């Protein structure tokens, strides 16, 4: 594979380098294909392109406060947040240990642990999980959680699909995280102890959003060994090492953590700000006209957003321009501290998302006004 030499057109007053050296007092807006993976053009404007004064119709930026949602006993009772034919995002407050096993026959499941800690038991063994962990559960895995401290989890189902690692190209396989950092379940003493638990065990299997229950007269998590390359894996956001450029603000695609068939999962973690005087130091305004963008805010100070706290989710549907809020835009070229302090999960989805009833019930209705600093939370 090779990329032919090409030369983008520069028309009017524009920088020859994207995301840097803008005409004084102006802002940049990027129009792109295939999220941030395809061809793009950077427009230069005299004012922020989020200066709307009124919004009519359903295509608007939306925000939801998941912290207001209640607990559920099973992952299949978790709150439905956003979904389409290829991905389903649910929010699960799990306060007590599971009394039956779960098995997702609709697709791979990605658990992001927002808060709490637990022991996860599955076909493959025992794995301790805690806040900040991603856990990939292959489709069909039987599992349950033994809660240590109450959990809050974002569940991201790759419906009829699977998770894989992104192609890392020029930066090599060890970029962002070395695959050797992926932990896997072990057939340890804790697993052997739980395998001997007496009594009947039920397995709740989800397929096409319907549940079937299979009952065993023994604990089916009783493997004595396994060999292969298909397994659950875990990595914590603290172990991610973000790609950085001191002279150029990298797009979210540089922080891709997992990929599926019609969406990607990216992770924002603390990193130094760009130090080149001409480089913009906030996310650039952009039209993501091929993807819906979802961000779950996990921890820290979300430097590009106002009035957002941990446990919230934003949805920016494709079809309109968005970017930093006014407070962040004031620091476009000069930041008051050397580095970001945020952890967030971004899901970029190729097909339009529907909003679940639970999310609609905890929506910040005036989020679309927050770029004008008028919205009340």
d(CA 194, CA 191): 5
DSSP single-letter state for residue 350: S
| Residue 299: per-residue pLDDT | 97
Q: Give the model's pLDDT for residue 1.
A: 67
pLDDT tens figures, 324-336: 999 899 999 999 8
Return the active site residues.
249
**Phi and psi at residue 90, in whole multiples of 5°?**
-130, 155
pLDDT at 289: 87
Mean of the per-residue pLDDT values of the chain = 95
- The band of 375, judged by pLDDT with boundaries at 50, 70 and 90, is low
Measured between alpha carbons, how far is 368 from 364 in angstroms, rounded to an integer? Answer: 9
Please name which of 315, 281, 282, 285 lies closest in space to residue 297, comparing C-alpha atoms: 315
pLDDT at 307: 87
Average pLDDT estimate for 236-247: 96
Q: Is 286 annotated as a binding residue?
A: yes
Fold of the domain built from segment(s) 70-237: Jelly Rolls (2.60.120)
Asked if pLDDT for residue 142 goes beyond 90, the answer is: yes
Category of 296 on φ-ψ map: left (φ > 0), alpha (ψ -120 to 50) or beta:
beta
Strands 101-104 and 201-207 come out as parallel
Separation of alpha carbons 227 and 316, rounded Å: 43
Quickly tell me which residue has 């925000």 as its tokens: 63
Comparing 34-38, 115-119, 235-239, 269-273, the range with the smallest average pLDDT is 34-38
Instruction: Classify domain 27-49+59-63+241-371 at the CATH superfamily level.
Output: Jelly Rolls (2.60.120.10)
What average pLDDT score do residues 121-135 get? 98
Alpha helices in the chain (DSSP H): 189-195, 326-329, 357-360
Please state, in angstroms and rounded to a whole number, the distance separating the CA atoms of residues 53 and 228: 57
35 touches 348 (CB < 8 A)? yes
**Where are the domain boundaries for CATH 2.60.120.10 in the chain?**
27-49+59-63+241-371, 70-237
Q: What is the mean pLDDT of residues 165-177?
A: 95
The answer on whether 322 is annotated among ligand-binding residues is yes
pLDDT tens track for 246-260: 999 999 999 999 999
Strand 27-32 vs strand 40-45: parallel, antiparallel, or unpaired?
Answer: antiparallel
Q: Determine the pLDDT at residue 36.
A: 86
Hey, is 169 helix, strand or coil?
helix
What is this structure's pTM? 0.96
Give pLDDT, residue 376: 56
Q: Which two tokens stand for residue 338?
A: 């050397």
């Amino acid at each position: 594979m090779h990329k032919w030499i090409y030369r983008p057109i520069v028309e009017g007053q524009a920088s020859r380098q994207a995301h840097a050296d803008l005409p004084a007092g102006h802002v940049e807006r990027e129009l792109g294909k295939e999220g941030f993976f395809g061809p793009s053009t950077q427009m230069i404007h005299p004012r922020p392109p989020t200066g709307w004064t009124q919004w009519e119709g359903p295509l608007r930026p939306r925000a939801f406060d998941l912290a207001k949602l209640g607990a559920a006993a099973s992952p299949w009772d978790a709150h439905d947040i956003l979904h389409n034919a290829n991905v389903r995002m649910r929010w699960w407050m799990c306060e007590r240990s599971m009394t039956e096993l779960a098995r997702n026959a609709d697709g791979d499941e990605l658990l992001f642990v927002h808060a709490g800690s637990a022991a996860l038991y599955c076909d493959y063994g025992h794995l301790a999980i805690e806040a900040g962990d991603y856990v990939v559960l292959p489709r069909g895995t039987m599992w349950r959680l033994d809660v240590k401290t109450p959990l809050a989890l974002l569940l991201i189902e790759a419906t009829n699909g699977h998770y894989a690692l992104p192609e890392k190209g020029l930066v090599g396989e060890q970029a962002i995280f070395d695959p050797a950092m992926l932990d896997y379940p072990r057939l340890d003493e804790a697993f052997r102890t739980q395998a001997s638990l007496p009594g009947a065990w039920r397995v709740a299997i989800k397929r096409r959003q319907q549940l079937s229950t299979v009952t065993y007269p023994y604990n089916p998590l009783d493997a004595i060994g396994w060999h292969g390359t298909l397994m659950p894996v875990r990595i914590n956001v603290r172990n991610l090492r973000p790609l950085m450029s001191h002279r150029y603000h990298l797009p979210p695609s540089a922080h891709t953590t997992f990929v599926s068939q019609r969406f990607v999962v990216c992770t924002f973690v603390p990193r130094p700000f760009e130090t080149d005087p001409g480089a913009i130091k906030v996310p650039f305004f952009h039209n993501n006209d091929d993807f819906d963008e979802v961000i779950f805010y996990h921890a820290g100070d979300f430097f590009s957003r106002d009035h957002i706290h941990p446990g919230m989710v934003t949805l920016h549907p494709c079809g309109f321009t968005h970017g930093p809020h006014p407070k962040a835009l004031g620091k476009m070229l000069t930041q008051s501290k050397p580095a970001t302090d945020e952890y967030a999960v971004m899901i970029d989805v190729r097909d339009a998302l529907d909003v679940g009833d639970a999310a609609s019930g905890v929506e910040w209705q005036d989020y679309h006004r927050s770029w004008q600093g008028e919205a009340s939370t």
